[in-house]
Structure 1
Amino acid sequence: MAKPWAAEQIVTNDVALELISKQFPELVPLTIKLIGEGFDNTVYQVNQQYVFRFPRRSIAVDLLLVECALLPHLFSLGLPLMVSEPVFFGKPEERYSWPFVGYRFIEGESPGAATVDQRMQSARPLAQFLSILHRFPVEKAKELGVQNDLLGRLDLAKRLSQVDSNMNKAMELGLSRDRRVLDSFLSSLRDGGGDNSGTGSPPKCLVHGDLHIRNVLVDENHIISGVIDWGDVHTGDPAVDLSFVYSYLPPEGRSLFFSIYGETEESTLKLARFRSIHISLLLLLYGYDQQDDVLVAATQDSLKLAFEDL
Structure 2
Amino acid sequence: MVKPWAAEQIVTNDVALELISTQFPELVPVTVKLIGEGFDNTVYQVNEQYVFRFPRRSIAVDLLLVECALLPHLYSLGLPLAVSEPVFIGKPEERYLWPFAGYRFIVGESPGVITVEQRMQSALPLAQFLSMLHRFPVAKAKELGVPNDLLGRLDLTKRLSQVDSNMNKAMELGLWSDRRVLDVFLSSLGDGENIKESGNSSFTQCLVHGDLHIRNVLADDNQLISGVIDWGDVHIGHPAVDLSFVYSYLPWEGRRMFFSIYGEADTATLKLARFRSIHISLLLLLYGYDQQDDSLVAATQDSLRLAFEDL
- Give the shorter-chain TM-score range: over 0.9
Tell me the equivalent position of 2:209: 208
Is this contact kept in 2: 1:247–1:306, CA < 8 A?
yes
Who is 1:244 aligned against? 245
8 Å CA contact 1:202–1:236 kept in 2: the answer is no
Change (3 A) 1:4 1:200: farther
Q: When the two structures are aligned, how many residues end up with a matched partner?
A: 310
Indicate conservation of the 8 Å contact 1:170/1:176, yes or no: yes
Residue 36 of structure 1: how far off its partner (Å): 0.1
Q: Secondary structure at 2:190's aligned position in 1? A: helix
Alpha-carbon distance in 2 for matches of 1:175, 1:226: 29
Query: What amino acid is aligned across from residue 87 of structure 1 in structure 2?
Result: V
Q: Does the CA contact (< 8 Å) of 1:149 and 1:199 recur in 2?
A: no
Give the residue type in structure 2 aligned to 1:58.
S
In structure 2, relative to structure 1, the CA distance for the partners of 1:203 and 1:263 (3 Å cut) is closer
CA shift in 2, pair 1:248/1:54, >3 Å: same
Amino acid at match of 1:12: T
Q: Deviations over 1:239-297 (max 9, x none)?
A: 00000000000000000000000011110000000000000000000000000000000
* Partner residue, 2:152: 152
| AA aligned opposite 2:155 | D
Post-superposition CA distance 1:1-30 (Å, at most 9, x none): 541000000000000000000000110111
Tell me the alpha carbon deviations over residues 29-60 of structure 1, each in whole angstroms, 9 at most, x when there is no partner: 11110000000000000000000000000000
Question: 2:49 matched to 1:43?
Answer: no
Shift of 1:194: 2.2
Displacement of 1:201: 11
Query: Aligned partner of 2:28: which letter?
Result: V
Does 2:292 match 1:291? yes
Aligned partner of residue 153 in structure 1, secondary structure: coil
1:262 aligns with 2:278: no
Q: Deviations over 1:196-217 (max 9, x none)?
A: 5999998610000000000000
Partner Cα separation in structure 1 for residue 184 and residue 61 of structure 2: 39
Q: How far apart, in 1, do the equivalents of 2:223 and 2:243 lie?
A: 20
Matched, 1:63 2:63: yes
- Give the secondary-structure state (helix, strand or coil) at the position aligned to 2:62: helix
Tell me how far apart the structure 2 counterparts of residues 193 and 218 of structure 1 sit (CA, whole Å): 37
Deviations 1:157-209 (A, max 9, x none): 00000000000000000000100000111111125562259999986100000
| Other-structure match for 1:106 | 106
User: Which position in structure 1 is the counterpart of 2:6?
Assistant: 6
Question: Hey, which bits of structure 1, 4+ residues long, moved more than 4 A?
Answer: 196-203
Q: Which residue of 2 aligns with 1:19?
A: 19
For the residue of structure 1 that corresponds to 2:270, the secondary structure is helix
- Counterpart of 2:116 in structure 1: which amino acid? V
| Distance 1:193-1:247 versus aligned 2 partners, 3 A rule | farther
**Within 2, Cα distance between the matches of 1:254 and 1:203?**
21
Q: Residue in 1 aligned with 2:172?
A: 172
Name the CA shift for 1:89/1:199 in 2 (closer, same or farther; >3 Å).
farther
Q: Does residue 1:309 correspond to 2:306, yes or no?
A: no
More deviation, 271-280/191-200: 191-200
User: Is 2:230 the counterpart of 1:229?
Assistant: yes
Cα separation, 1, equivalents of 2:48 and 2:34: 11
Asked if the contact 2:198–2:268 (Cα under 8 Å) also holds between the matched residues in 1, the reply is: no
CA 154–93 in structure 1, closer or farther in 2 if over 3 Å, else same: same
The structure-2 alpha-carbon separation of the partners of 1:206 and 1:176, relative to structure 1 and needing over 3 Å to count, comes to: same
Distance in 1 (CA, whole Å) between partners of 2:203 and 2:260 is 26
- Equivalent in the alignment of 2:283: 282
**Structure 2 residues without counterparts, runs of 5 or longer:** none
TM-score, normalization by structure 2: 0.97
CA contact (8 A) 1:152 1:197 kept: no
The residue identity in structure 2 corresponding to 1:178 is D
Partner of 1:89: 89
The 8 Å contact of residues 40 and 55 in structure 1, kept in 2 or not, is answered as yes
Alignment partners' CA distance in 1, 2:64 and 2:200: 21
Structure 1 residues 269, 143: CA separation in 2 closer, same or farther (over 3 Å shift)?
same
In structure 2, C-alpha distance between the alignment counterparts of 1:200 and 1:102, rounded to whole Å: 39
Alignment CA distance shift 1:2-1:186 (3 Å): same
**1:253 is matched by which residue type in structure 2?**
G
Answer with 198-207 or 20-29: which moved more.
198-207
Q: Which moved more, 1:198-207 or 1:180-189?
A: 198-207
> Could you say what secondary structure the match of 1:194 adopts?
helix
Paired position in structure 1 for 2:135 = 135
The CA distance in 1 between the partners of 2:137 and 2:264, in whole Å, is: 19
Inter-partner Cα distance in structure 2 for 1:171 and 1:111: 24
Any idea what the Cα deviations from partners look like across 1:47-85, whole Å, max 9, x if unmatched? 000000000000000000000000000000010000000
Q: Distance in 2 between matches of 1:23 and 1:200?
A: 48
Can you give the 5+ residue segments of structure 1 that lack an aligned partner in the other structure? Answer: none
